[in-house]
Amino acid sequence: MARASRRAGLDDLLRKRVIFVAGKGGTGKTTVTAALALIGARRGLRVLAVEVDAKGDLPAALGHPPVGFRPVLVQRNLSVIALHADESFQEYLGIFFRVPRFTRLTPLAGVFDFVASGVPGPRDMLMVGKIAYEERRREADGRPTWDLIVVDSTASGHVLSQLTAARAMRKLVRGGMIGSQVDFVDAMVTDHRVTALCITALPEEMPVAEALDLHDQVVRRTDIGLGPCFLNRSLTPAASRQRRLLELLGTPAHTRAVAELVGDGVEGVVAGALLAERLAQQAQPHARRLTAGLSVPVIPIPLVATRPGLVTTRAVAGVLEAAA
């Protein structure tokens, strides 16, 4: 993809107010979420990064220990929050029923838990509802508390039921207070100017299949707007000149000649470069299948060799901005 359109992809995306990042487990959701949050904060937006499953990976990707249900400022302009359904529920009751926090709600939470595990609606609804609530929050001077909310969503299998929870609840719960509030959540999720869903993938068989499946379901079954797809661990095949050089160095006579210059290790270097080339070639059909099957642009993020954490997040953010 041309740089100009990639830049437009990223700029457009950062103009949204809420970005959900979703994809198969292990496709780099957390790193992409953290990198988008970092870029937004660098550009002067007040950013809230949201962790949905509370494993502590998102704060870690921003160089911070695990956080709780209250937003914690981890970098300039950048706060992180971890959502728990139970706490969302407590807060919800606090807001709408004036039930003080820390009231013994355990029995009710049990009932809620049952309903929530039986019906996907309420739990998901509360998670998304909390995000909608943060989106709506205003400071005393009237400006929004957050300019951008980036959500590290649950694995792709579940993200759709989460985002469509409000609509599902509409069918299930005809009356009740929840029933009267689902519309506002649904409106936020389906407003293309406000919310975008970004899918992450890897250039491998199953992650691409799952990304395409999620994409198709979003398009067919929902009114949710899609942002660009992030293809993590991308490997670019070498240019033809570099491939010729690789071939040249691979012949035994030449390897010996080069070994005299840089040492015997050159054999290993050639083998490694050859392996990288094979891996890149192997990834190509998957990357092409992804690009062909999506209605949105694909932004490749090259493979990095660091462990997940702030260093990796910064590297990915740098790549995204440099590519743009």
Partner 1 sequence: MTRSVVASAADAVGAPAAGPRPDSLAALLGKLQVVVCCGSGGVGKTTVSAALAAAIATVYPKRVLVLTIDPARRLATALGMTRIGSDPVPVPAAQLRRAGLQLRGELAAAMLDQKSAWDRMVERYAPNRQVARRILDNRFYQGISDAFVGSHEYMAMEALYELHASGEYDCLVIDTPPSRNALDLLEAPTRISDYVGARLLTWLARPSRFGFRAMNLAASPLLRIADRLLGSDVLGELGDFVNDLQTLYGGVQERARAVSRLLRSSRVGFVVVTTLEPPAFAEAGYFVSKLEEFSMPLRAVVVNRVLPGFLLEESAIQAAQALIENHGSAARLARALDAPVDAASLFGLAGSFSLLSELARRDARQLPRLERLTRCPHVQLPLIPERISDLEGLARMAAML
* Residues 146-175 interacting with partner 1 (rule: CB under 8 A): 155, 161, 172-175
> Which residue's CB is nearer to partner 1, number 68 or number 272?
272
Q: Which 46-65 positions form the footprint of partner 1 (CB under 8 A)? A: 53, 57
Q: Is 100 in the site for partner 1 (CB under 8 A)?
A: no
> Which residue's CB is nearer to partner 1, number 44 or number 176?
176
Q: Which 60-89 positions form the footprint of partner 1 (CB under 8 A)? A: none
- Among 115, 194, 219, 324, contact with partner 1 (rule: CB under 8 A): 115
Q: Is 206 in the site for partner 1 (CB under 8 A)?
A: yes
Q: Which 233-272 positions form the footprint of partner 1 (CB under 8 A)? A: 238-239, 241-242, 244-246, 248-249, 254, 257-258, 260-272
- Among 112, 133, 146, 230, contact with partner 1 (rule: CB under 8 A): 112
Shortest CA distance to 237 belongs to which of 278, 270, 289, 292? 278
Smallest distance from partner 1 to CB 132, Å: 17
- Among 68, 100, 118, 318, contact with partner 1 (rule: CB under 8 A): 118
Residue found by looking up tokens 């209605």 in the block: 295
Smallest distance from partner 1 to CB 312, Å: 9
Say how far apart CA 181 and CA 201 lie, in whole Å: 34
- The answer to whether 286 touches 4, Cβ cutoff 8 Å, is no
> Which residue's CB is nearer to partner 1, number 73 or number 248?
248
Query: Which runs of consecutive H residues, i.e. helices, occur in the chain?
Result: 3-14, 29-42, 57-61, 85-97, 106-118, 120-136, 156-163, 165-172, 176-190, 205-221, 240-250, 252-262, 266-293, 310-323
Smallest distance from partner 1 to CB 168, Å: 9
Q: Is 308 in the site for partner 1 (CB under 8 A)?
A: yes
Calculate the alpha carbon distances from 280 to 75, 206, 228, 276 in Å.
Answer: 35, 17, 22, 6
- Among 72, 194, 219, 303, contact with partner 1 (rule: CB under 8 A): 303
Angle 120-136/156-163 helices, nearest 10 degrees? 70
Q: Is 273 in the site for partner 1 (CB under 8 A)?
A: yes
Residue found by looking up tokens 């660091």 in the block: 306
Residue type, 261: L
> Which residue's CB is nearer to partner 1, number 11 or number 205?
205
> Which residue's CB is nearer to partner 1, number 80 or number 105?
105
Residue 146 backbone zone (phi > 0: left; psi -120 to 50: alpha; other: beta): beta
Smallest distance from partner 1 to CB 81, Å: 20
Say how far apart CA 286 and CA 203 lie, in whole Å: 5
